[in-house]
């Protein structure tokens, strides 16, 4: 599955530049990890989302939109 391969590549690239410090939380669709840049030590939250069923995609897209609005403020 191409999308799974792409997701794995993106996640591996993140792990090349960042280290996972700890799990911040878990939700219905995935987990939130505190990650830290290996060079600058700057920290970010990384949310990983697991899509199991196609009908979950709309809910997940809505969650991404809401998260985007929260973090932009």
Give yes or no for residue 42 having a pLDDT over 90. Answer: yes
- What average pLDDT does range 40-49 have in this prediction? 88
- Average pLDDT along the chain: 78
Do 69 and 53 form a contact (C-beta atoms < 8 A)? no
The confidence score (pLDDT) of residue 25 equals 92
- pTM, entire model: 0.60
Give pLDDT tens digits for 8-18.
777 777 878 99
Q: Alpha helices, DSSP H only, in 18-55?
A: none
What is the token pair recorded at 48?
Answer: 């990983």
């Amino acid at each position: 599955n191409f999308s799974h391969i792409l997701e794995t590549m993106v996640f591996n690239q993140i792990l090349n530049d960042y280290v996972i410090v700890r799990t911040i939380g878990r939700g219905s669709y995935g987990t939130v990890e505190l990650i830290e840049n290996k060079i600058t030590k700057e920290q970010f939250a990384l949310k990983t989302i697991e899509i199991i069923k196609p009908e979950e995609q709309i809910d997940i897209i809505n969650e991404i939109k809401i998260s985007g609005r929260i973090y932009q403020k």
